[in-house]
A and B are shown apart, each in its own frame.
Chain A
Amino acid sequence: MRVVKYDEIVKSIRDMIIYSTTHLAPDMLEALKKAYENEKSEVSRAVLAQLLENAEIAQKEWKPLCQDTGLAIYFVKVGEDVRVEGGSLKEAIYEGTKKGYEEGYLRASTCDCFTRANLKDKAGYNLPPIIYFDLVPGDKIEIEYAAKGGGSENVSRATVLAPAQGKPGIKEFVKKVVSDAGPNPCPPLVVGVGIGGSFDMAAVMSKHALFRSIGTPNPDPEMAEFEEELKKELNKLGIGAMGMGGTQTVLAVHIETYENRMCHIASLPVAVNIQCHSSRHSHITI
């Protein structure tokens, strides 16, 4: 059984948070540059130019790309042959989150659902995070992190379609979600689509789809083709950068299905998780 120190996990998470909220991931930067080149609308191009300049400033000054440094979201794969010494893995993630947000001068955005009071004094600075654990073979701990802003979460949707609605039904649903959202979630977007499993699993997969590097298609050729088809369709909406009108509404569509397209015989669950252009995601393996 391999042993990993609690403090090592805390520090790795802290550093990952501070770095990825100030340095736009290379895949996003590349996608934004491509969108800038391809955008035909003048006003949208001006917005994209600002976003590229913003990424430069943020990186140079280690200043947050966006003031909404989000809820901290983690997908964690824990090897069956590794254990943490000096505390639990969950506690380490909590402490790493608190340290990263507090010491990185990031915003504490967690609050009580009803009083709306900020939780920084009660639960801890930007605590709690959202964590999904999975148990896998091996002796490593793999942690994927994203800072997920509120604006794009607010327009995300999940549904369960009738099986007969099939791909056209999914297409219609995804299109409606992006169309209704319009300028609000800060386009150009990455659109995560979870298909299958159960109602809740579709939503989790739609979130995890956002962690995938842009430019990496779904390994299932049919789903990869569906991703391209949806992207093309969504870019016809004309929403453009920050909704000001243009041809580059969506940078990528990422589909995830459950265990090779599995679902219940009565259902077709679909969830759409919207990601703004400031996709701050990263991963570490310990």
Chain B
Amino acid sequence: MAEYRLKTPLTDEDVEKLKAGDIVYLTGTIYTARDAAHKRLVDLIEKGEELPFDLKGSVIYFVGPTPPKPGEPIGSAGPTTSYRMDSYSPILIEHGQKGMIGKGKRNEAVKEACKKYKAVYFGATGGAGALLAQRIKKAEVIAYPELGPEAIRRLEVEDFPVVVVNDCYGNDLYEQGRKEWENLS
């Protein structure tokens, strides 16, 4: 289990060194999107239209934050369950996305896309929304404000703590962890 500090956007070399179980601290720009925003991004790709941000090397955080109090960049901001993005993520990965941050299991198509196009799925701690918000220094809605908490935001993060769940070699931390600890309590 290694520990890395990485800057976004991510490159193939960044992704290649990561293994399931590694702890990563991300710094730089990341984007937020949940299922409603994912659907719109995939629709744009299918129509050949321009996306609201550059997908190349991008990291997308699956989050619908609480509204910020006056003076705060963002409210509470922990990850949402990722399977709802499973039907969209492979298309975005094919078009350059390198990282996803969420919680919970992904399907085979997402894991395959991670292998084929070198991408990685990070897990952040669900229910640690107050703690994770402290690592978000700036937040700005850049698309679909009508979606409210589900709008696309550009976030500037510093040392945002995540764990590699699915790497680009087909490893899965949830499966490994469970196998290791089964019947040991």
Contact = CB atoms under 8 A, between A and B. Distances in A.
Q: Do A and B bind each other?
A: yes
Interface of A: 40-44, 46-47, 50-51, 53-54, 57-58, 61, 63-69, 105-109, 116, 118, 120, 150-151, 154, 182-184, 186, 232, 235-240, 242-249, 276-278
Given A120-B148, A242-B125, A242-B126, A64 B76 contact: yes
14 contacts: A41-B180, A66-B78, A67-B64, A106-B66, A107-B65, A116-B36, A150-B81, A151-B80, A182-B104, A232-B185, A240-B181, A242-B125, A243-B123, A243-B178
B177 A66 contact: no
A9 B26 CA distance: 45
Interface of chain A, main secondary structure: loop
Given A105-B75, A184-B83, A184-B105, A66 B65 contact: no
Interface of B: 1, 21, 23, 36, 63-69, 75-78, 80-81, 83, 103-105, 123, 125-131, 133-134, 148-149, 161, 163, 173-174, 176-185
Contacts of B177: 41, 43-44, 238-240, 243-246
Nearest to A246: B181
A244 B173 CA distance: 6
A43 B176 CA distance: 12
A174 to B, nearest CB: 16
Name the residue in B1, B21, B133, B181 with the highest tally of chain A Cβ atoms < 10 Å from its Cβ. Answer: B181
A50 B185 contact: no
A183 B105 contact: yes
A245 B75 contact: no
A154 B127 CA distance: 16
B133 to A, nearest CB: 7
A109 B182 CA distance: 35
B104 A183 contact: yes
Contacts of A237: 178, 182
Contacts of A51: 125, 127-128
B130 A64 contact: yes
Contacts of B182: 236-238
B68 A243 contact: no
Contacts of A109: 149
Nearest to A277: B127
Contacts of A116: 36
Nearest to B128: A54
Contacts of A105: 66-69, 75
Contacts of A242: 103, 123, 125-126
Name the residue in B36, B174, B179 with the highest tally of chain A Cβ atoms < 10 Å from its Cβ. Answer: B174
Contact of B128 (A50, A107, A150): A50
A165 B31 CA distance: 49
Contact of B148 (A41, A108, A249, A276): A108
B184 to A, nearest CB: 6
Nearest to B67: A105
A164 to B, nearest CB: 28
Contacts of B77: 67
Contacts of A50: 125, 128, 131, 161
Contacts of B174: 182-183, 243-245
B104 A64 contact: no
Contacts of A42: 1
Nearest to B161: A50
Pick the 7 closest A-B CB pairs, nearest first. A245-B177, A238-B181, A238-B182, A247-B185, A184-B104, A64-B76, A186-B126
